[in-house]
């Protein structure tokens, strides 16, 4: 153990803490050290948890009735490697699976495509065909688990693969439950993993809505994601506003496609970030529920209360993790996860301490899961529903969040909706400006990041990280080559031709995608068939 003197020599710290290093604003509004009833714009909603507009939660009993689903986002290397991680997590008490795909898969490219070079299996699992999906879920009964899949541009193709795997297991589609992210709007806003222009991309989303409403009724057909918007540099308010306005856009497009609001909105879910400002995050979740319920009832005339109830998954903030002093990330993650729980999340992922350095090791992923389990079973927080409800500070923050989000809604409506706003670069510019301000605050010392710009340690030691060699790429390329040599080429060509034809007309695209999957067409081939019809999107330089 080092002495106190040696620690003083290796720790950089100002003699006095600058007040500017502490958080002084919430959503751009000054905050005070003390709040009273006079600070609450209007009296807190009198409703109990489980009552409209669900500010206090969508379930009357909170977690006393059912704990949140514990998921650990995982995917790397080959399908076999990820399959083993899933089995390890399920054995350790995880209650849901969450699939991370590698960049080529996310971009609709096969592992042997030139643009996939150096990226196969690196930030997620490589999936090129039904054969890979069968390996990914080998030995896992899909009727017995809920699966979340984080993929957007090729979401319909990947979902079709999942359905065919379930079909071959003998599972009924109406028994399957889980979520496909399928949120293409946030790709244009933040993550940039798009393929097609926005409007045909929305066709893929609404076709999934329509197909699942009758064929896979328990499946969440979209997870409208604020997570990636926040990771790109948005404030908590911008995350809330842009995410919910994306959701409004999807609902409008579904209605315009001929769907009734209550036939698909109950299967719309959300995905939020849990960042460092503890109370601000809790207020964000409370405001999200109230806003969604009100908009669905008043703007769209939804009458099914399931359409009013916003259900959301939370993931702790990846962008808050630091490569410096990585064990600090355990503390950050625990605080963020607690905000998600006190805010009423329905599902939770806790990041691993090493994710700023590499894909998580088994040990780090297990510790992240244990963080949730300690919170659920030892902290006592699950005994109370919305325990911060009635707090002058939290109620004021919640009201500020609602008001700020409505202002953004109006601005986007004035631009013609979210698709039009994206085409004009509005949300992209707003996020870029927020990200710039945050980085300047860090670099100028106005915002403290422990271990990065204060309390640094010259003698810190690293942690063991997960290493992936280039064997994954070689193995996946060899498998694709073998697949093309052994499948029925006429069946593949016919299925892809039917997919192109369907894309030219009004027919739902899910049936031809399922046929292409059953013929063992690859992700790249299916995406290319639609590229032939719709082209590829290129962001304007003005954005």
Q: How confident is the model at residue 12 (pLDDT cuts 50, 70, 90)?
A: very low
Q: Look at residue 25 in the predicted model and tell me its pLDDT.
A: 56
What are the b/e assignments for 36-45, b being 16+ CB within 10 Å? eeeebeeebb
Q: Look at residue 63 in the predicted model and tell me its pLDDT.
A: 95
Q: Look at residue 74 in the predicted model and tell me its pLDDT.
A: 85
Whether 541 is in a domain gets the answer no
CA distance 128 to 477: 9
Q: Look at residue 542 in the predicted model and tell me its pLDDT.
A: 54
Whether 138 is in a domain gets the answer yes
Q: Look at residue 46 in the predicted model and tell me its pLDDT.
A: 67
Whether 518 is in a domain gets the answer no
Whether 292 is in a domain gets the answer yes
Q: What integer is the mean pLDDT of 59-85? A: 91
Please check whether residue 157 is in contact with residue 513, taking contact to mean a CB–CB distance below 8 angstroms: yes
Q: What integer is the mean pLDDT of 42-65? A: 88
Q: What integer is the mean pLDDT of 350-379? A: 94
Whether 367 is in a domain gets the answer yes
Q: pTM for this one?
A: 0.92
Whether 409 is in a domain gets the answer yes
Q: What integer is the mean pLDDT of 502-528? A: 97
Residue position matching structure tokens 């197909």: 211
Lowest mean pLDDT among 54-58, 72-76, 408-412, 431-435: 72-76
SS3 content of the chain, % helix, strand, coil (to 5): 50, 10, 40
Two tokens, residue 543: 């954005």
pLDDT tens-digit readout, 454-501: 999 988 888 888 777 778 899 999 999 999 999 999 999 999 999 999
Percent of the chain with pLDDT over 70: 93
Whether 5 is in a domain gets the answer no
Q: What integer is the mean pLDDT of 512-530? A: 98
Whether 381 is in a domain gets the answer yes
Lowest mean pLDDT among 95-99, 365-369, 512-516: 95-99
Domain carrying residue 158: 31-448
Q: Look at residue 31 in the predicted model and tell me its pLDDT.
A: 83
pLDDT at 251 over 90: yes
Q: Look at residue 26 in the predicted model and tell me its pLDDT.
A: 57
CB atoms under 10 Å from CB of 477, counted, come to: 18
Q: Look at residue 479 in the predicted model and tell me its pLDDT.
A: 96
Q: Look at residue 3 in the predicted model and tell me its pLDDT.
A: 34
CATH classification of the domain holding 179 = 3.20.20.240
pLDDT at 511 over 90: yes
Q: Look at residue 465 in the predicted model and tell me its pLDDT.
A: 85
pLDDT tens-digit readout, 181-222: 999 999 999 999 999 999 999 999 999 999 999 999 999 999
pLDDT tens-digit readout, 262-276: 999 999 999 999 999
Please check whether residue 540 is in contact with residue 146, taking contact to mean a CB–CB distance below 8 angstroms: no
Q: What integer is the mean pLDDT of 17-28? A: 49
Q: How confident is the model at residue 71 (pLDDT cuts 50, 70, 90)?
A: confident
Q: Look at residue 14 in the predicted model and tell me its pLDDT.
A: 43
Q: Look at residue 41 in the predicted model and tell me its pLDDT.
A: 79
What are the b/e assignments for 288-321, b being 16+ CB within 10 Å? bbbbbbbbbbeebebeebebbbbbbbbbbbbbbb
Q: How confident is the model at residue 228 (pLDDT cuts 50, 70, 90)?
A: very high
Query: In the chain, how many domains are there?
Result: 1
């Amino acid at each position: 153990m080092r002495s106190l003197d040696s620690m003083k020599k290796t720790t950089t710290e100002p003699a006095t803490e600058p007040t500017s290093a502490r958080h002084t604003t919430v959503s751009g509004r000054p905050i005070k050290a003390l709040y009273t009833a006079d600070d609450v714009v209007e009296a807190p909603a009198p409703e109990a948890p489980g009552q409209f507009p669900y500010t206090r939660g969508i379930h009357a009993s909170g977690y006393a009735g059912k704990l949140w689903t514990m998921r650990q986002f995982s995917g790397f290397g080959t399908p076999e490697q990820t399959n083993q991680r899933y089995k390890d997590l399920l054995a350790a008490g995880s209650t849901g699976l969450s699939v991370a795909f590698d960049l080529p898969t996310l971009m609709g490219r096969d592992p042997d495509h030139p643009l996939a070079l150096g990226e196969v299996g690196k930030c997620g699992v490589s999936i090129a065909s039904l054969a890979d999906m069968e390996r990914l879920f080998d030995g896992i009964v899909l009727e017995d688990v809920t699966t979340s899949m984080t993929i957007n541009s090729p979401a319909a193709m990947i979902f079709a693969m999942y359905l065919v795997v379930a079909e071959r297991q003998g599972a009924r589609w109406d028994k399957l439950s889980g979520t496909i992210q399928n949120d293409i709007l946030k790709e244009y806003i933040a993550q940039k993993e798009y393929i097609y222009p926005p409007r045909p991309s929305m066709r893929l989303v609404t076709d999934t809505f329509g197909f699942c409403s009758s064929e896979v009724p328990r499946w969440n057909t979209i997870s409208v994601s604020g997570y990636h918007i926040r990771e790109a540099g948005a404030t908590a308010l911008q995350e809330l506003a842009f995410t919910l306005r994306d959701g409004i856009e999807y609902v409008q497009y579904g209605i315009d496609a001929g769907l009734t609001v209550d036939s698909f909105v109950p299967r719309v879910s959300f995905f939020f970030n849990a960042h460092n400002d503890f109370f601000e995050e809790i207020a964000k979740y409370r405001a999200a529920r109230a806003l969604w319920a009100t908009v669905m009832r008043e703007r769209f005339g939804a009458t099914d209360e399931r359409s009013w109830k916003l259900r959301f998954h939370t993931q702790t903030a990846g962008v808050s993790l630091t490569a410096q002093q990585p064990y600090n990330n355990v503390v950050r993650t625990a605080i963020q996860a607690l905000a998600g729980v006190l805010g009423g999340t329905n599902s939770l992922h806790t990041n691993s301490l090493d994710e700023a350095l590499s894909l998580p090791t088994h040990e780090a992923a297990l510790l992240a899961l244990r963080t949730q389990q300690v919170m659920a079973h030892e902290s006592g927080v699950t005994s109370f529903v919305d325990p911060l409800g009635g707090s002058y500070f939290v109620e004021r923050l919640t009201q500020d969040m609602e008001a700020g989000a409505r202002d953004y809604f109006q601005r986007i409506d004035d631009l013609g909706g979210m698709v039009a706003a994206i085409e004009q670069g509005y949300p992209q510019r707003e996020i870029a400006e927020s990200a710039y301000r945050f980085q300047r605050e860090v670099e100028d010392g106005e915002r403290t990041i422990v271990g990065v710009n204060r309390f640094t340690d010259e003698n810190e030691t690293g942690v063991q990280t997960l290493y992936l060699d280039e064997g994954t790429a070689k193995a996946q390329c060899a498998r694709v080559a073998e697949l093309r040599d052994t499948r029925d080429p006429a069946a593949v060509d016919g299925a892809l031709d039917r997919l192109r034809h369907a894309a030219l007309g009004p027919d739902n695209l899910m049936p031809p995608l399922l046929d292409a999957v059953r013929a063992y067409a690859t992700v790249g081939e299916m995406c290319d068939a639609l590229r032939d019809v719709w082209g590829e999107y290129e962001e304007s330089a003005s954005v």
